[in-house]
Every structure is written in C-alpha cells, then in structure tokens.
Structure 1
Amino acid sequence: MANKLITEMGLPKPISNLFAARNILTAKDALSLTEFELMELLDVELSQITSAISRITEVTCPPYQTAQSLMEERVGSEHLATGLSGLDKCLCGGIPFGVLTELVGPAGIGKTQFCLKLALLAALPVSYGGLSGRVIYIDTEAKFSSKRMIEIGIKSFPEIFHLDGMAEEMAGRILVLRPASLSEFTESLQQIQLSVLQHQVKLLIVDSVASLVSGEYEKDAPKQNSLGWHISFLKSLAEFSRIPIVVTNQVRSQSSGDAVYSFQDTGGLELHLVAALGIHWAHAVTIRLVLEASSGQRYIKVAKSPISPPIAFPFIVTSSGISLLSDDGTEVEGAEINAIHCQ
C-alpha cells in the first residue's frame, strides 16, 4: 500500500495538487517526510498537513483484524480454478485472489502452457467457470502464442470455442504487453495499475521478471535489490485490487556461496538448480509451484503454501494444456520439496 497514489486517497483537490506539484506522488513519498518538512515544501498550515497525513495513513495502513475474521476471510476468499482437480483441491479452490503465486521451473517444462490456460480461464464467462474479465499478460520472453492459446481453448472448451465469434471474443479480452527491458517494465506498472482498476481486469500474469534481469543480479547485488520496489508494487496491487497475480520464475545453477534459508533447507541433498530472483522474491510470494522433470516424468509440486501440505502431481502437456496424470498426488517429505530437477 506504500505505493498507492496520493491522487486516489480522497484528499481535497488543492492539497492533492500541491503534493503533485512537489513530486510527492505516493503514500511512501509523503510519509517519508516530517510534518514540518511538508509544511515548508507545500507552504500550507500545520492543520492542513496534519489532516492530509491522517487521511493518507488511514488509507495506507491495513486495519486491525481478529484471528476469527481472518479465518472466515480465508474460507470465503475467491480463487481462480486451474482446471486441475487435484491441485485445486490442495489450494482450497485454485489460485488465490489478493496474493502473488509463482511458477518456478526450467525452460520448456510447461510454465507458459500453464499461464495460457489460466488466461483463458479468467476470460471465460462465469457460467463456464471463468471470471468474465480481462487479463493483462506481460510477455517478457516473447513466448505468448495466440495460436496455441486458441488451440488450448478449442480442446479444453469445445462447447464455447466452436460458437461463432467466441474465439475472437476470448482472445480480445487478453491484453499482451512486451516490455523489452526492466526499465520499460517499471514504467508500464503504473499504467497497468490503472488498467486493473478501470477495465475489469481479473488476472495479471508476468512471464517472467527473471528474464528482464538475467545476467544482472548474479553479478551486481544492488541491481538484484532494485527488484524490491517491483515486489512491493505487485504485492500491493494484488492486495488492493483483489485479483490473482501469477509470476513465472526461471532457475539457475546453485553456486557454492549461495545462502540456504529455513524453507529452502536441502537436508544434505546435492541440488543443482535453484529458483532465480533471490530470497527477497521467494519470501514475497504466497504460493510457489515448482514444475520439474525427474526420470523422464514431469511433476508440479506445491513447494510453498500456507494452506497445503508439500505435495507433487505428475503431469503431461497435451493439446489442451497441462493435464494431471493423477488427482491424488504424492506428499513429499523433507528437503525434496525444494529440490528442482531437470532430467
């Protein structure tokens, strides 16, 4: 919420305009200054500053909640069903609204296939289990394929996509952006926020952030840390707009100097691949799904979730997208849940 725009906080227009004129655009900008510093910058009385800060604080700070209300909220919260029955059951309905969900795995494992199916599901009419909304698909690796998406739709939902004009209507609800650099992605985020709020956007997919910083964060720690702003922005956007945000992440070779954290404990296993983007990103996501291949079989693992045990499902990629071979899954014990295999 620190990145929430001051223009959206219901301040009196003269005060809001003064903030904008002094380039104080977000709650974080305003709350980083003392009241006396703001008096000097805006040239207004203390009572006006106090009133404005009180309003900004009220809007920005989350309200207190009881444990009971949080439990009721979780039980009644909305989800985007993935169409994978076993996975949806584990996640209590599917991809949750209001948080970040991450898909991690090596190239070619099926992350983009998963994202294409989710985009279709969000665009489908409610009567067919969808969200009847628009989707913003940020395609940083140029892997988005309209042809493949329509193929998935025809095979998965033939009763809908064989209707005259329905394929075009579904495709028209999915807005694709292709930023060529991290700076372009950063510049587009404010416009994305406005689109989410104004155009009935029900799902945001970023496929992937890792490609925008590939080769940078390993060599230059400050550049990796600069992703902190993007993490905060995406988390705030998910929470404020109450939509699911799905981000794909690449893998990289584990170096001998890599730190291992409690939820990444290897238990003595010799890991060769780890998720990219670092520990700050790992802590920011609420759900982490690992897609991997072991002994010729692909698996999707619920590696991090506040509501699901560590569990793995074998899957294949077909003309209709990802399909589970079993809805029962296998509970994974110990450090194996955090291992990422590619063989």
Structure 2
Amino acid sequence: MLSLIELQCRPWLNGLELLEDLQRNKHTLSTGDKGTDSLLQGGFREGQLTELVGPSSSGKTQFCMQAAASVAENHLGRVLYLDTGNSFSARRIAQFICSSSDATLGQKVMSRISFHTVYDIYTMFDTLQGLEVTLRSQMNVNEYRLRLLVVDSISSLITPILGGSGSQGRALMVAIGYLLKKLAHEHSIAILVTNHTVGAGGEGGKTKPALGETWKSIPHVRLLQSRDHKNSNCTISILKHTSMPSGQTVKTMTRKENQQCL
C-alpha cells in the first residue's frame, strides 16, 4: 500500500518539462515581509514546497499567518491553513491585513482563508487527497483559486510515527512529502510547512532541523528562522534553495514594525 502511495505521488517529469512549466505557469507570492521577499527574489514560488525551520518561539507561526494574510489580500488568492497544534489565530491574521480599516474589504480577504485542524498523519492524507479531488474539479476556474497551502507544523504530524526501528513511519513521511509536492506542481500552489529543531548532540550545543536526512531532500526551499529574544529581532537564512546559494540571511520585520501597517 505504501509503495503504491509513493508511486502515485512521485512527479514524473524531465528537466525541460519542469523548466517550461516554471516559466509558463509558476509565479512568486509575497511572504508579507519585504526583507524575506528580497531574499527569495520575490517570495514563495508557486509549484514549490518551502520549509521554515526554527526552534520553539522563533516566530514560525506568526510568519505563516503573515504569509496567509499577504496572499489572500495582495494576490486575491485562496489560502488553506492546516493547523496541527492549536496555534492558528484568526484575530492575528486580521491584524496583518493592512487594509482592515475597511471592514468590508477585510471580511472579503478573511473569507479567502480556510482553516482546518489536523492532528495525525492519517487525517492529513485524507485532507490532502480530498483537496486533490476538489482541485481537479476546479481546474478551469481561475478566480480566487487556491494559491497557498500552509501546514503548521509538519513535524508535529510526522515525529510520532518515526519511533522504533521499522520503516513504516519513514515511508509515510516520504509519501506525504511527495503528495504535497505533487499538489504544488500540478496545481501551481505554493506550499509552506514548518518544522522544529532538535539537538545535534555533542558539546557544541548546535541544533539541526528535525525529521532527519530522509525528509531533508523533500523541500525545494529550506529556511531557518531564529529570534533574538532580547530585542525580538528575527532573522531568516537560506539553508537550501533550488536557484540560490545557501547561507544568505536577512532581518525580518519585528512585531513592533509590523504594527505600523495595522
């Protein structure tokens, strides 16, 4: 069963087809932060899976909600927000909508954001497969199409199934990764998932993204977010990107600076 799932989720395209599709159908979507948009040369790329990695309280959920508000408002697109840890806040997203002083417009923007809670990997499969059926039936409908899918956080779903020496958990992890990439590619959706960090061992105290080496190859783009808790400044660094070198870093807007557009 797992082999069939992985086979069906794997995108079968050659390099030339991918390049032509990228130039013809894939656009960038603003993250809602000017610094991050500049770092990523425009923002999230449709058709790609972007992973945001960071320790607890580094601002990953706030980044996700800011991105959801930006896409719904500035790109007139629909957003599906899958919450795995009761961290979603409609009020916080509404605060990110800079035009919310216009109550009618603010309500229209908020209506483009759909929210679902997902608490285990099997519900996640059901949700994504149901989404795929819905998207196929709406392929010719361009107005307010789904442009961003957020999963906050993917590691909360996958970590519980990775215990033990068996390979079933890793197979499910790979299958969910390929299903996300398949949805992104076939329907020109930008997908944003969050992942936490774990200790790498040793005396250095360094941390690394959770979910191990198997998951590492799945995201197209991997970003690291960190926060200086003394002044609440956040930085985002590129760990992996399909067209840019790793190591580039940018300071994102602080919470106080964000309030200026509310």
Q: TM-score, normalized by length of structure 2?
A: 0.81
Q: Larger C-alpha radius of gyration, 1 or 2?
A: 1
Using CA pairs below 8 Å that are at least 6 residues apart, which structure has the higher relative contact order?
A: 2
Asked if the contact 1:97/1:244 (under 8 Å) is kept, the reply is: yes
**Aligned match for 1:87, one of 12, 36, 48:** 36
Unaligned runs of 5+ in 2: none
Per the TM alignment, residue 230 of structure 1 is displaced from its structure 2 partner at its CA by 0.2
CA distance in 2, matches of 1:322, 1:303: 29
Corresponding residue pairs, total: 246
Unaligned runs of 5+ in 1: 4-24, 30-59, 125-129, 257-268, 324-343
Kindly tell me: are residues 83 and 316 of structure 1, through their superposed partners in 2, closer, same or farther at Cα, counting changes over 3 Å?
closer
Query: Where in structure 2 are the equivalents of 1:19-30 lying within 5 Å?
Result: 28=7
Asked if the contact 2:121/2:158 (under 8 Å) is kept, the reply is: yes
Name the counterpart of 1:328: none
Name the counterpart of 2:249: 312
Aligned partner of 2:131: which letter? Answer: I
**Aligned match for 1:204, one of 144, 149, 156:** 149
Q: 1:61-112 deviations in whole A, cap 9, x for unaligned? A: 425628xx93894598410012433332332211111010000001111111
CA distance in 2, matches of 1:281, 1:322: 36
Asked if the contact 2:35/2:252 (under 8 Å) is kept, the reply is: no
Kindly tell me: are residues 321 and 308 of structure 1, through their superposed partners in 2, closer, same or farther at Cα, counting changes over 3 Å?
farther
Identity, % of aligned positions? 26
Q: 1:253-301 deviations in whole A, cap 9, x for unaligned? A: 2246xxxxxxxxxxxx935321111222211111111011358453211
CA distance in 1, matches of 2:70, 2:132: 21
Asked if the contact 1:104/1:250 (under 8 Å) is kept, the reply is: yes
Per the TM alignment, residue 184 of structure 1 is displaced from its structure 2 partner at its CA by 1.2
Asked if the contact 2:26/2:188 (under 8 Å) is kept, the reply is: no
What's the C-alpha RMSD, in Å, of the aligned pairs?
3.1
Name the counterpart of 1:172: 111
Per the TM alignment, residue 120 of structure 1 is displaced from its structure 2 partner at its CA by 1.1
Asked if the contact 1:90/1:308 (under 8 Å) is kept, the reply is: no
Q: Please give the secondary structure, in 2, of the residue aligned with 1:135.
A: strand
Name the counterpart of 1:238: 184
Asked if the contact 2:33/2:253 (under 8 Å) is kept, the reply is: no
Aligned partner of 2:89: which letter? Answer: S
